Every structure is written in structure tokens, then in C-alpha cells.
Structure 1
């Protein structure tokens, strides 16, 4: 292959798949994401298999499933048992860089993270977690808190641009991960110019938003879309720099998110839930030198643990034995068997979806067409997403769909067996890992 490609992974927090122009959303303005989609492999059924912040990020960094890496609640530490994506690329001769939100350290959201807990990343401009996007701090190599200037996603993007430009002096390729905090709530803190783009009263609600939720949903969506348009503008800056430096053809460029956001659909907010608004995420992968630049869509369900091995596969690098996800680099090239289903998991409900708010453990699958979910009591949800794209008609346990449900249940059972997942109550796994939670099932964090 000659020189290995650079790899840039840009991922935002809580960006659901339908909130883009290229997916047909009539309201949100994302011209640069639309441009990227037209030049990329668009994975139209990409899912966050455990749709909540820390667990999803741990799956991304390790290529493992939550019961293996052990991060199935927020604000706990990701250990060093797995070979991380940073370590795997470093072993392949890459420089490694990470900028933005980390949320995998578990030692407090505002604490300095020493090198031995950075999962193989050398260039480091990181804070564990904050959602105060206009008063945001970070650490570099020293235990000295530094401040991002203004809207943190913009300052982080400029830092990454500087890194890309400086990297042209080196023959060594890089893996660069940029982790934006928005569009995660609070929704009303995007730069004013982007907030002015959206009038809540003019927005289109998904049909599965109950009438009594419409006012809140419109208000939240206007700010959510403002954040997304701000990020889209920054994405455009990154794409322009790659062209200016003449490395766009030989760079693997990814845009995705750690999970989605319900935003009033089905009378629910935020994440953890098994509906599409929570689990489906954007996943655009552009690598013109190998995949071409014409753009194409892949409907096969690709899960968060699959991204690490797929990127290693695109770069011709060894995939560590600790990885559980699948290498779909051949699928991106139009060859090789496609995945049949992505595994969906809630090990233990907590926080905004604690048991008192209706939270429950579940296991399920998302295929290209169907969603099938079981809770501890048995089958819970079954949707035909082709005929019912807003998931408003639960087919579970209906006589006419018994054969379909049985087939999907067998598929789910096979995936759970493959993962060694006995689907036990969440308290079992909390005790197994020694996690102590409060009354909402949340592991308390310190600032």
C-alpha cells in the first residue's frame, strides 16, 4: 500500500442519525456533512449498541462490548486490559492524538489524566467531561488547567487544524480523534449566529412526538440543530484543510457520534433507550484512495465496536486479539459478508433513565429492517422499520408475527451466546465490578 493513510475520527456527543440534511431532515442545515456524505460510504444503519456516553466511548476505544470492558455506566474508569485503538495504531507506526471530551477516566470530571491512563494517545488536549461549552477547560501534558477560547468545539477544531498542518513535516502517519461535546444538552448554548437560524415554531416534529411534548420538543430541537449547524461549519473547515494540504485523497476521514437523543419522540428524552432516535448515529467514512469519491450507502447494521477493527483493516494494520468487533473494511469496498444484526444492550439503567423513570435492562438487535428487544420479563418491542419508520406499532407477541419474532429471538440468542452474555439483572454486574450507585442507579462523580 505504500505510505499508510492518516486517520481522522471526528465524533460528536448525542447526534442522532436523522438530524442531518443528507438523511432528508427538512429543517437542520448541514451543507458540509451533506458534502461529506456525497463523497463517503454512508452507513445508514450504524448504531450505538449501548447508547450512553461512557459505555459507547469505551466500545469505540477498545472495539469491545460492555460486559468485556466493564464500562456499562457513566463515570467509571476504563482499564488497560484491552489493546486500545490508540495503542493499536501506535504499534502500526502511527503518531496518536486526541482532542476534546474523553469521559473514560472515572477519577472526576475535572481532573488531570496522567499519561498511563490515556490509552496510547500522545498528543493530548483533553478534559474528562464538561457541557459548559463556552467556559471549557482542558489539560495537556502538565497538571495545569488551560481554557479553550469561546465555544470549545471551535477552539478544539482550530487546535486540530494546527496539528494537521504541522504534521505535514513528518513522514509518519497519524491517528487523530476529535471529540466534540455538542450537540449534547444544554441545547441553548451554541453561538448566536447559529441559534438565529432556527425558529422553534417553524420546525417539523417527528410523528412519534406526542402532542403534549410538542412545545418542549420544538424548543429543544431549535437549540440542538443550532449546535449541529455550528459543528457542521467546523467540519467544513477540517475538510478544507485536508484539501489545502493535498492529503484528502489519502486520509481516512470519519464522522460519527456516541449515541442519539430522543428529543420528545415516544415521550422520552436523551439516550439509553432502544428506539432509533437513541441508538442510530451518523457514520460517514471517506477514503477516496481506496473507496472512491462517488459516495455510496451501506444498509448493513454496523455497531460501535466494529469501527476500530474496520479502521485498522482499511489501513492494513493488525487487529489486536482483544477486539470483539468485526472488521468491515471489505464490506465498505463492496465485497465480503455483511453483518446480519447489531447487538443492543442496556446492562443497568441509570441517571435520566433510572428505574423510577421507566428505565429497564434490555438486550436486543437492530437489523437493516427490524428492531427486536427483550427485557428481563421477555419480549418487549418488535418494529418493522421499513413499514413503520417511526416505530409507532409494536408487533411484539402478535399472532401474525409469531414466526418473525421467533426468528429474531433465535438471532438475538446466538449473539448473546457469542458474547457470553447471560442477561442477568443490572445489580449483578454492579456487584461484580464493585460499582456503588446512588438512588438513581448512577455512580457519583466528583469535579
Structure 2
């Protein structure tokens, strides 16, 4: 292994966490991701810091929450003053490259000043508008349009493999940003390669979407194409690993695979994400390569805002103090290492909200009077949702306002306020949720539940 590992980030768009076999999906969609999870490191409770494209991407580039880096919603260019992974790796002597969707500028082609410090460039700001399934238009270093042949995710993987081939003799950092499995906006469809939609249509439905189908939504119409896209992406991931192996780089290259957010197929609101439910916030996350081998499994919540410091840490590069994420490399080595007990989420555009996701609880607050597009934050939030994920993993029974869970909300409110402060947000008030009309009488005694049970003897 070389002294400095190469680093590749494979980044999908709108991919649910439960589409991978490593998370129990029964269709065999992701054998290459599953192999990474099995032999590398698998973060089983990975969440996004914001379930919207631009903010999630800005956080992953900078290691800072969207309100801190300025990109709290879409259509805000990443400030040129923000330092990205590309800057840090370049300063350490790495060649850097970006392929695919950027979504952190205000124009196509993306001006060099808005490319986040990446050296080589083959990308479009809004790939969903410059391309369709079999016509992928990106822009090169000179800003001229480039047609990449083949199905869109294949074309982007091909470009990534060319970058790896061209830079095999020097340390490199590559960010590959795919559009799949995002919908094609102008037709509101999920165009999979020929035959792939038919292969998966009607074979599997996430339990939350099946339960919420009475509310409407598009899952039954789109699931086949969505899953077909994911299957083809995983084939591309396999080809990338094959290329690394053939070039003798497999043992020297860290590969991280994750997504910007999930997809609830219009069952929680009028579009596909922008809610605090697991369908929106949970994403796949697996890492292979130096520092991540051995089949480590992280069962504590981690955020993709934690990925930038983790990658720098694994490459032996000092993590800047400005980064708000926390390297989870210590958890790879020791599951009991000190690490935050919850992940913090900011929700924008559809609402102005904040949430924390613990292993058991999802606690969400929002400002009903705020404009989620214009208001980056609020000084007054109202408890909106509370889910007991141990007994309600698909978040179908909102417990916010139940007297039985007042103590739980009080504790989570305190933890959320602390996370607001740590993210650099102004102090805010969180108002208790009103008691639901007709709420059933329940009793939760956390003290009694913590008492040890004496051993039971059998005669």
C-alpha cells in the first residue's frame, strides 16, 4: 500500500437506504455495494444533514452544515470562500477530479470559480436538465459541452474509470456524482435501462410506502424503474472496482459509496423528499479500502456531514477546525469509541425544521409560520413529530404531544437545542406539541425500564 491512499466518492441521488442487500433488500440489486459493506465498513444508520439535493451536497463537500456553509436550500451557489474536500486533498498533493452532477452553482456550464476547487472537471450543474437516460451532456474543463455515450450512469462510470487510468501513478481524489436513481424531471419518471424496469416492477415495496399508499404517491407506478436504475448503478460500481483491481490500485484506494437523501414517492408531502422521515433522511453508506477493511459495522447514527473529516482522517490529512462533522474512523477501530449519540438534520424548502435521529427515536420540530425557502432558520419551533423506532420502524404513529412521552420529548428537546448551538445556529425556543385529541392513555416509565431484572430460576 502506498503512503497516501487514493480516494473515490461514489454519490447517488435520491437512493433509499433499504434498496441494498446489506440492509435486507431481497432482490439482489446491489451485490457490489453489499460486498463493500461485508468486507469493508458499513454504516447501517447513515443519514443526510438535509434531505434536499443542494444542501446535502454542500455539506458533503465542506463537512459543514448547510446553514453554516450558506447553502441551506437549492439554487444557492456554494460560496467561493468555502473550503471543500478538493481544496484539502489538493493541498496535500493529490490530483482532484469531479464527474457528474454538481448542483452547487448558478449556471451551466459551471464557471471555474464555482467548481469548488476541483482540478479536472467533467460535469453539469443540473444533470437532470442537460441529459436524459441515453443522452448525457456534461461540460469539460473548457466549458464546452461533451456527449458521453451509453446509459447515463454507465457513461459517468466510464468517465470515472478514464480518470483513474490517467492518474494511476499519482495520489488522486475523485468525486463521482450520479443522477440515478433520481427521477427525470420533465417527465416525472425513473427511466431505467431497457428491460430493467420490467425486471423489478411489482416485486418489492418498502413497508412504509405500502402502508401509506392510501395517501396517494407514485411508488406503485415508479418502483420498477427506480430499482432498475439502482441495479445498473451497482453494476457500474462493480466495473469501477474491477478497474482498480486491474490497475493494481484496489489495495491503495478508499472507495466511499453514499447518497444525498432518500425518496418517499410523494407519500409524506407533495414531492419526493424534504421530510424528516427515514424514507427521506436515511441513505446507504459503505466504505472499502485502507483503514476500512475487516467487515466493521457501525450501528450508531452517523451523518454524511461526518464523511469529509473521516476521509481526510483516513488519508492522514489534518481535519480542519472549521469542519462541523466528526470523523467516525475511531468507530471503525472501536465500536465503543466516543462519538455523538444522535445525528442532526436540517429540513428546508418544504418546511423550516430541525430533527435529531437517535438509534431509537426520531424527534422533529418545525416553524409553521416560516417560509422554508426564504427562512434558513427560526427562533421558535414547535414539536411536530416523534417516532419510537424500536416499535414503529416505519414511522406511522406520531407520538408528538402524547402525555406518556413528555419525558422523552423533554430529553430530546434538550439534545436538539445543543445540536443547534453546535451547528452555529442562533438560540431558539422549542414549544411543546399540543396533546392530540383522543390520544390513548399510555404509561411510559423510563426509570422502571432501566432497573435490572433478577435472574429467573427454573426447577
TM-score (norm 1): 0.86
How far has the Cα of 1:295 moved from its partner?
1.4
Quote the residue 1:414 is aligned against: 418
For 1:118 and 1:280, the matched residues in 2 are separated by 27
Going from structure 1 to structure 2, the CA distance change for 1:211 and 1:83 (only over 3 Å counts) comes to: closer
Gapped regions of structure 2 (runs ≥ 5): 368-380, 430-459
Post-superposition shift, 1:67?
1.2
Q: Secondary structure at the match of 1:379?
A: strand
Find the aligned partners of 2:200 and 2:240 in 1 and give their Cα distance. 24
Partner of 1:361: 352
Retained in 1: the 8 A contact 2:84–2:116? yes
SS for the counterpart of 1:374 is: strand
Stretches of structure 1 lacking an aligned partner (at least 5 in a row): 350-358, 426-447
Do structure 1's residue 384 and structure 2's residue 388 form an aligned pair? yes
- Give the structure 2 partner of residue 344 of structure 1: 345
1:62 aligns with 2:62: yes
- Candidates 180, 188, 196, aligned match of 1:182: 180
Partner-residue secondary structure (3-state), 1:305: helix
Question: SS at 2:178's partner residue?
Answer: strand
Matched with 1:84 is: 84
Q: Is the 8 A contact 1:260 1:281 kept in 2?
A: yes
**What is the rounded CA distance, in whole Å, between the counterparts of 2:2 and 2:100 in structure 1?**
31
Contact 2:213–2:267 (CA under 8 A) maintained in structure 1: no
- Cα deviations by residue, 1:60-91 (Å, 9 ceiling, x for unpaired): 11111111111112122111222211000111
**In the alignment, is the contact (CA less than 8 A) between 1:32 and 1:235 conserved in 2?**
yes
The whole-number CA distance in structure 1 between the counterparts of 2:213 and 2:330 is: 45
1:400 Cα deviation from its structure 2 partner: 1.8
Compute the displacement of 1:165 (Å): 2.0
2:245 maps to 1:243? yes
Q: Deviation string for 1:375-416 (max 9, x for gaps)? A: 125111111112211011212221222221111111001111
Q: Which has the larger radius of gyration?
A: 2
2:305 is aligned to: 305
What is the match of residue 154 of structure 1? 154
Distance 2:59 2:266 in 1: 27
> Where does 1:185-200 land on structure 2 (aligned, <5 Å)?
185-186=183-184, 187-200=189-202
Secondary structure of residue in 1 paired with 2:218: helix
CA distance in structure 1 between the partners assigned to 2:206 and 2:56 by the alignment? 27
8 Å contact 1:139–1:145 — kept in the other structure?
Answer: yes
The alignment partner of 2:199 has SS state of coil
Distance 1:269 1:224 in 2: 15
Aligned counterpart in structure 2 of residue 370 of structure 1, from 361, 372, 383: 361
Is 2:47 the partner of 1:47? yes
Task: Name 1:428's counterpart in structure 2.
Answer: none
Q: Per the alignment, in what secondary structure is the counterpart of residue 26 of structure 2?
A: coil
- The structure-2 alpha-carbon separation of the partners of 1:307 and 1:328, relative to structure 1 and needing over 3 Å to count, comes to same
- Greater relative CO, 1 or 2 (CA 8 Å, sep 6+): 1
Pick from 277, 283, 286: which aligns with 1:284?
A: 286
Rounded to whole Å, the distance in 1 between the matches of 2:424 and 2:284 is 29
Q: How does 1:207-226 map to 2 (within 5 A)?
A: 207-208=208-209, 209-212=211-214, 216-226=218-228
Per the normalisation by structure 2, the TM-score is: 0.84
CA RMSD of aligned residues (A): 2.0
